[in-house]
Amino acid sequence: MVGHRWVWLCDDLCIRIRVRSSWNLIKRVIDDGLVMRGKGKDRTMKVGRVSKVACHAGLMLAFLIPACSGGGETSDSPGGGQAGAGGSGWDGGPDGFVGPDGSSEFDPDADTCAWDSKKPERAGVDIIFVIDNSHSMGDEIEKTLANINAFASKIANSGLDYQVIMLSAKGTNLTDVSEDVPNLKGSGLTGDMPLEVCVPPPLGVGPGGSDPCGDNAPRFHHLDNFPFGIASHNGMWLAIGMYNKHYTWATDTGPDGGGWAKWARFNATKYFIMITDDDAYVPGTNEGDPSIIGNATEPYEVFDRLILKDPRYGPAGMFGTETNRKYVYNAVCGWTYPGGESMSDQEGGGCRTAAGDPNPNFAMAPGIQHQKLAQLTGGIVESICRSDWSAVLGKLADNLVTAIGCEFDLPKPSEGVLEPNKVLVQHTPEGGSPEPLTRVTDESKCDQYPNGWYYDDNVAPTRIVLCPGACSTIGAADTGQLDVLMGCQGPAPK
């Protein structure tokens, strides 16, 4: 056996070759003997039967060996055979090829199979901004709008399939802080005038056009909790409360179907970014089924159980499960950053910019519930009191690209049903040769096998996840090619 190929001769034997991107297909070797055919990037090669008479006579063997080796000598070292005069230079691989039974030994009675190669798509991400519209948030809204396009540009440049959904009051008001306004925004309701968010182009549409500050499909959607916006303490709840309805404070009800569920993609990771200078309140009895909430008392626990289990936030599995969440919660809140200061407990205990900062700021509360939910879901916490918000949103973008940029949707085979144990993954660097990656059982094995990959769920996988070591070289900005080879038994996971 040479590199990544088998040669099976005589009777019902076949030759099976795993073909590289760079190889030129051999059109025909012999009229009634070996016929090879390729199908674009699927790179599946099947070989017809060898004539029994020719095989027994030794004629086919004499012809085949030069064809496989390119007329020159073959090599069993990584990289496979070198092309000789008139040869094709078939390329081998570092760890050899395996047969249908997982071994590298020739077995003429083994079931035959054929490789089906697909280029996987990077996993999608739905980025949900939730911005507090209370009267203390004017400076933070301005900083968000000044940096949101740079944030989106970094995501776009990574190659990720993304969209941004904004949950916040829609408009241009950043100065009117009137309270108890009758017929607020013509709604017939009384309330405080919210500070508003109007995302500028190119991500948003800005204040002009037929839908000022509105959608810029397919990348950007803005959902307004009309007429009140997001208040100081209800942002965490409204992040899911607005999922399937236009939520309002006045009645705690709204028309089903008016929420952001219509934009949410089932297979996409939901990446929440909460921006607030306050904390979250405990949802009331009308905001969740006690049988789902159970003994959870803290807001972050209630949020997690509702979003994972409440059928209102379906279909089932939209946000994952407790063991495999498909959402990440990040918080820009009143956390006191290194070098910053904190307000006194009597003042709420939130962050405050360091003395002498040219752009002083403070938070009403540290946002403990937001911090706990971020910790639970693997998100990050940033301080709303920082002066440089390019770094704040830049960190959020970098974390997203690092975490999700190395997740790939598991492709479907051309025919039949995918068998998870019959999958191999290989990466071809730009201008280089294919390099197989090692399948591991889970993330805990990544330190031992840095070039590894694993499934998001070993029982019912939907994604391929690269280990950090592989991710560092095959990240979202990689210019090489990742291939998923399906159909033949691969090595057992490490």
Judged against a pLDDT cut of 50, whether residue 394 lies above it is answered with yes
Query: By mean pLDDT, which of 137-151, 153-167, 333-347 is the weakest?
Result: 333-347
pLDDT of residue 24: 33
Identify the pLDDT of residue 135: 95
Query: Is pLDDT above 50 for 101?
Result: no
Residue 471 pLDDT more than 70? yes
pLDDT value at residue 38: 35
The whole-number pLDDT of residue 283 equals: 60
When the pLDDT of each residue in the chain is averaged and rounded to a whole number, the result is 75
Q: What is the pLDDT of residue 269?
A: 93
Residue 171: both structure tokens together = 């408009």
Contacts of 149 (CB under 8 A, 6+ apart): 200, 201, 202, 203
Sequence-ordered list of residues with C-beta below 8 angstroms from that of 5, at least 6 positions apart, any chain: 15, 16, 17, 18, 68, 80, 90, 92, 97
Asked whether 16 and 104 are in contact (CB, 8 A), the reply is no
pLDDT at 5 over 70: no
CA distance 227 to 208: 20
Q: Is the pLDDT of residue 87 over 70?
A: no
What's the confidence (pLDDT) of residue 18?
35
| % pLDDT > 70, the chain | 72
Does the pLDDT at position 316 exceed 50? yes
- pLDDT for 50: 34
Residue 111 exposure: Cα atoms within 13 Å on the Cβ side: 7
pLDDT score at 435: 86
Decide if pLDDT at 73 tops 60: no
| Sheet order of strands, 327-333 included | 220-223, 161-167, 124-131, 269-275, 327-333, 381-383
Indicate whether 474 pLDDT > 80.
no
- Report the alpha-carbon distance of residue 456 to residue 453 in Å, rounded: 10
List of domains in the chain: 1-112 (no CATH), 124-404 (3.40.50), 408-486 (no CATH)
Q: What is the pLDDT of residue 396?
A: 95
How high is the pLDDT of residue 27? 31
Q: Do residues 198 and 213 touch, judged by C-beta distance below 8 A?
A: yes
pLDDT band at 410 (very low <50, low <70, confident <90, very high): confident
pLDDT of residue 229: 92
Find the radius of gyration of the CA atoms of the chain.
29
Closest C-alpha among 344, 404, 365 to residue 160? 404
CA 129 – CA 220 distance, rounded (Å): 11
Torsion of CA 433, 438, 442, 443, to 10 degrees: -50
What is the pTM assigned to this prediction? 0.71
Q: Supply the pLDDT for residue 458.
A: 87
Between CA 488 and CA 79 the distance in angstroms is 21
Most confident of 226-240, 312-326, 347-361, 368-382: 368-382
Position 468 scores a pLDDT of 83
